[in-house]
Amino acid sequence: MTARPHVPAGSNTVNPFVITDGAAELLDFLIDVFGAIDVPEARTLDEDGLILHAELRLGDSLLTLADRKPDWPFTPALTRVYVDDVEATLARAEARGAQIVTRPTDFFGDTLARFQDRSGNIWWVYRHDPAASQDWAAGADSDGSAASWSPDADNGAGDWASFSTPELEYIHGSLVEAMCSLRDPRTP
């Protein structure tokens, strides 16, 4: 097995495929919110007029979308995207009808936020700060204080209390709340 298998030009080793209600609307939403680039030659309609296959280029990644068929189950996508400006991304998402799930919060030296689009998909939005992340991994928080957890520390595998912070509690709690409130958009 190789670390990087051969992939077609324009693809990555992992390429998310989102099945959603209103794929055309979601495509437009993602173009506006993330600056994604439509790949028009990839768009294929099924015999019923629903999108069978559409592709967006987002940074160095390929995102494929399709419409959910009437008898398919609700399967929300949970997707992580790195951006340069978390606040601006959230503002564009909210202006297009998204619900903010997690406000921008320090997350191991990076900034993390989340929003839920109108089709029920949840998007993790990150801004990576290499300097802050290195400081954090070396044992200092962004304010210079000692970090409570590091990737190399033995914190008692899975012992949340050994490294939990108010920020991590908020990040975790906001996700739990969003996941518990997920509902099929077709169900009143």
Domain containing 53 — which CATH number?
A: 3.30.720.120
Query: Could you read off the pLDDT of 145-188 as tens digits, one per residue?
Result: 434 444 444 545 556 677 788 999 999 999 999 999 999 999 88
At 162, is the secondary structure helix, strand, or coil? Answer: helix
Please, where are the H alpha helices in the chain?
A: 23-34, 86-95, 130-137, 166-180
Q: Assess whether 8 and 21 both reside in one domain.
A: yes
Instruction: Give domain status of residue 188, yes or no.
Output: no
Amino acid identity for residue 122 in this structure: I
Q: Assess whether 149 and 63 both reside in one domain.
A: no
Given 33, 48, 75, which residue is the final one in a domain?
75
pLDDT the model gives residue 81: 95
Query: Could you read off the pLDDT of 90-108 as tens digits, one per residue?
Result: 999 999 999 999 999 999 8
- The answer to whether the predicted template modeling score (pTM) of the entire model surpasses 0.85 is no
Q: Assess whether 81 and 167 both reside in one domain.
A: yes
Instruction: Give domain status of residue 138, yes or no.
Output: yes
Sign of CA dihedral 32, 77, 188, 53: positive
Q: Helices 23-34 and 86-95, interaxial angle, to 10°?
A: 150
User: How far apart are alpha carbons 125 and 114 in whole angstroms?
Assistant: 6
Q: Check pLDDT > 70 for residue 110.
A: yes
User: How far apart are alpha carbons 142 and 144 in whole angstroms?
Assistant: 5
CB atoms within 10 A of CB 140: 16
Across 114-129, average pLDDT: 95
DSSP conformation letters of 32-64? HHH--EE-GGG-EE-TTSSEEEEEEEETTEEEE
**Residue 32: domain span:** 1-75
Given 56, 75, 94, which residue is the final one in a domain?
75
**Pairing outcome for strands 122-127 and 78-82:** parallel
pLDDT the model gives residue 20: 97
Q: Assess whether 100 and 173 both reside in one domain.
A: yes
pLDDT the model gives residue 87: 97
How many domains does the chain contain in total?
Answer: 2
Residue 132's pLDDT band (cuts 50, 70, 90): confident
**CA 188 to each of CA 21, 104, 154, 185: distance values in angstroms, whole numbers, following the listed order:** 14, 31, 47, 7
- CATH number where 87 lies: 3.30.720.110
Query: pLDDT exceeding 90 applies to what percent of the chain?
Result: 69
